[in-house]
């Protein structure tokens, strides 16, 4: 299984698949029909889905903690970070879709084809760490939601989340379109819940718009920078780049140059629209936190449970806290589905190792549950809040390990042929990668320096 053998014999990935080398997510690859000669709307509908699965990672419980902290502490200032990180996400996910469709390989398979084994092992470990950090946020978020809605203790709620290991199995048995419909339905619930809360919060429009204008204080204020990098880590998810490059291949588009160009166009449209929904949800969380807490003197609200307790009294809307908890539960359930898929893609892509989905899910979820239970037992619920934000910083530090290979592949004509991105897009993509690396180096130095 030489990693570089196929590279020297064939310049393009669609030609490198060796006998016994399976397509990404083989059980659903090319399983969703794309109508030929249909109207643009019907063709768009055929491609709608993968972008929303990807967008789940951009509004998971980890985002809630960083957005709440940013809004309550610094008002609307960090809205610009949410907007910029979302624009970065739109670009990177478009590149990820391009790689999957044009190359016929997901990002993990591409890395395995092009890099030597030690590099692949390092990248695999980094990505697994990111998935576990993401899963950690989902366990905490779901456990908190169960406590807020049903009074279930946090440790018991964390243990209950192990049962959702079988949710993906149930959904996948009904077909990939059913899985996408489930995810989109929960995303709709989240969006509606926050739309109602924004109306209730009635934030000043001028202050909200001003929050989208960049300010140097974000970089010069260490506390603000820490939360800002946490928002970046919570928004641009490294494992989402692996996930998107795989699930775009579920569409049965023509595997010709013309068919691939058409598929790239629709897949990019799908992910861009879906990520605009993620931008709305993330901005809504921060706006509600700023309007409800920062302006009322509750600038210390950084925990989800604090926000739940204060929302209804501060906003004067009895149902506000319940809507908040319902949206949190929907977010945790959705993130479970996509993290499981990403874990399968990464393990199969890097290692060619296939585990039953239930086993893969239980292993990942088990690793995430243990620290939640231990921290809750030792430090109480405040400890889990700190663990939640820390998990997002860990995610941010894993980003370069996914972003740099992605940009390298899609800008290399020897790899992508006529589907390689233009020089202008390549410069922009490398600029985004550089910003991510610089921010993470600064975070690391600040963390070591205390």
What CATH number corresponds to the domain at position 83? Answer: 1.20.1740.10
289-318 b/e (C-beta count within 10 Å ≥ 16 → b):
bbbbbbbeeebebbbbbbbbebbbebbebe
Identify which has the larger pLDDT, 314 or 388: 314
Give the mean pLDDT of 155-182.
Answer: 82
Is pLDDT of 128 > 70?
yes
Model pLDDT for residues 54-79, shown as the tens digit of each residue: 998 888 887 787 888 899 999 999 99
Dihedral over alpha carbons 163, 392, 371, 335 (to 10 degrees): 0
Lowest mean pLDDT among 79-83, 131-135, 168-172, 215-219: 168-172
**C-alpha to C-alpha distance for 14 and 27, rounded to whole angstroms:** 19
Classify residue 148 as exposed, middle or buried by CB count within 10 Å of its CB (0-12, 13-18, 19+).
buried
Give the mean pLDDT of 361-377.
Answer: 77
- Percent of the chain at pLDDT > 70 equals 91
Confidence band of 261 (pLDDT split at 50, 70, 90): very high
Model pLDDT for residues 189-228, shown as the tens digit of each residue: 999 999 999 999 999 999 999 999 999 998 888 888 888 8
Report yes or no: 94 and 268 within 8 Å, Cβ to Cβ. Answer: yes
Give the mean pLDDT of 235-260.
Answer: 91
pLDDT at 165: 65
Give the mean pLDDT of 138-145.
Answer: 87
pLDDT at 242: 94
pLDDT at 437: 81
Report yes or no: 264 and 421 within 8 Å, Cβ to Cβ. Answer: no
Residue 251: strand pairing partners: 32
**C-alpha to C-alpha distance for 275 and 89, rounded to whole angstroms:** 8
> What is the model's pTM?
0.88
pLDDT at 274: 96
Give the mean pLDDT of 402-409.
Answer: 94
Confidence band of 186 (pLDDT split at 50, 70, 90): very high
Q: What would the 3-class secondary structure string for the chain be?
A: CCCCHHHHHCCCHHHCCCCCCCCCCCCCCCCECCCCCCCHHHHHHHHCCHHHHHHHCCCCHHHHHHHHHHHHHHCCCCHHHHHHHHHHHHHHHHHHHHHHHHHCCCHHHHHHHHCCHHHHHHHHHHHHHHHHHHHHHHHHHHHHHHHHHHCCCHHHHHHHHHHHHHHHHHHHHCCHHHHHHHHHHHHHHHHHHHHHHHHHHCCCHHHHHHCCCCCCHHHHCHHHHHHHHHHHHHHCCHHHHHHHHHHHHHECCCCCHHHHHHHHHHHHHHHHHHHHHHHHHHHHHHHHHHHHHHCCCCCCCCCHHHHHHHHHHHHCCCCHHHHHHHHHHHHHHHHHHHHHHHHHHHHHHHHCCCCCHHHHHHHHHHHHHHHHHHHHHHHCHHHHHHHHHHHHHHHHHHHHHHHHHHHHHHCCHHHHHHHCCCHHHHHHHHHHHHHHHHHHHHHHHHHHHC
Q: Which domain holds residue 377?
A: 5-449
pLDDT at 450: 61
Model pLDDT for residues 6-19, shown as the tens digit of each residue: 333 334 444 344 44
Is pLDDT of 350 > 70?
yes
pLDDT at 352: 84
Is pLDDT of 397 > 90?
no
**Torsion 326-330-336-342 (CA) sign:** negative
Please count the CA atoms within 13 angstroms of the CA of 19 that sit on its side-chain side: 0
Report yes or no: 271 and 93 within 8 Å, Cβ to Cβ. Answer: yes
Identify which has the larger pLDDT, 300 or 121: 121
Give the mean pLDDT of 271-296.
Answer: 92
The total of structural domains in the chain comes to 1
- Percent of the chain at pLDDT > 90 equals 46
Report yes or no: 71 and 293 within 8 Å, Cβ to Cβ. Answer: yes
Is pLDDT of 230 > 70?
yes
Q: How many CB atoms lie within 10 A of CB 424?
A: 8
Confidence band of 398 (pLDDT split at 50, 70, 90): confident
Model pLDDT for residues 20-41, shown as the tens digit of each residue: 468 888 888 999 999 888 888 9
Is pLDDT of 151 > 90?
yes
pLDDT at 191: 93
User: Which residue do the tokens 């775009």 mark?
Assistant: 248
């Amino acid at each position: 299984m030489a990693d570089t053998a196929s590279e020297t014999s064939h310049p393009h990935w669609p030609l490198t698949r060796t006998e016994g080398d399976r397509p990404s997510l083989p059980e659903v690859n090319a399983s969703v029909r794309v109508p030929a000669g249909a109207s643009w709307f019907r063709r768009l509908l055929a491609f709608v889905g993968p972008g929303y699965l990807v967008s789940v990672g951009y509004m998971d419980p980890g985002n809630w903690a960083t957005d709440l902290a940013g809004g309550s502490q610094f008002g609307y200032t960090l809205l610009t970070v949410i907007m910029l990180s979302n624009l970065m996400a739109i670009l990177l996910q478009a590149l990820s879709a391009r790689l999957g469709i044009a190359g016929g390989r997901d990002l993990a398979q591409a890395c395995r084809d092009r890099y030597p084994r030690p590099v692949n092992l390092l990248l695999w470990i980094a990505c697994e760490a990111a998935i576990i950090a993401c899963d950690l946020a989902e366990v905490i978020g779901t456990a908190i939601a169960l406590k807020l809605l049903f009074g279930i203790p946090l440790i018991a709620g964390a243990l209950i989340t192990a049962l959702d290991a079988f949710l993906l199995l149930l959904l996948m048995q009904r077909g990939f379109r059913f899985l996408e419909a489930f995810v989109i339905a929960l995303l709709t619930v989240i969006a509606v819940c926050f739309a109602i809360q924004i109306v209730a919060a009635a934030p000043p429009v001028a202050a909200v718009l001003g929050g989208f204008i960049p300010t140097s204080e974000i970089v010069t204020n260490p506390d603000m920078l820490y939360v800002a990098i946490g928002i970046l880590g919570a928004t641009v998810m490294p494992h989402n780049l692996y996930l998107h490059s795989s699930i775009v291949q579920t569409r049965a588009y023509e595997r010709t140059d013309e068919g691939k160009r058409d598929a790239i166009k629709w897949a990019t449209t799908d992910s861009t629209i879906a990520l605009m929904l993620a931008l709305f949800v993330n901005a809504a969380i921060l706006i509600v936190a700023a309007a409800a807490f920062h302006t009322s003197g509750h600038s210390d609200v950084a925990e989800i449970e604090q926000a739940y307790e204060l929302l209804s009294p501060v906003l004067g809307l009895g149902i506000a806290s319940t809507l908040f908890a319902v949206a949190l539960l929907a977010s945790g359930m959705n993130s479970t589905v996509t993290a499981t898929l990403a874990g399968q893609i990464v393990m199969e892509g890097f290692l060619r190792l296939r585990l039953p989905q239930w086993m893969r899910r239980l292993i990942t979820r088990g690793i995430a549950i243990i620290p939640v239970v231990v921290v809750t037992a030792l430090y109480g619920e405040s400890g889990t809040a700190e663990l939640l934000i820390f998990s997002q910083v860990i995610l941010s530090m894993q980003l370069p390990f996914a972003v740099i290979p992605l940009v390298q592949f899609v800008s290399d004509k020897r790899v992508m042929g006529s589907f390689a991105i233009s020089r202008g897009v390549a410069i922009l993509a490398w600029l985004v990668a550089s910003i991510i690396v610089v921010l993470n180096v600064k975070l690391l130095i600040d963390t070591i320096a205390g």
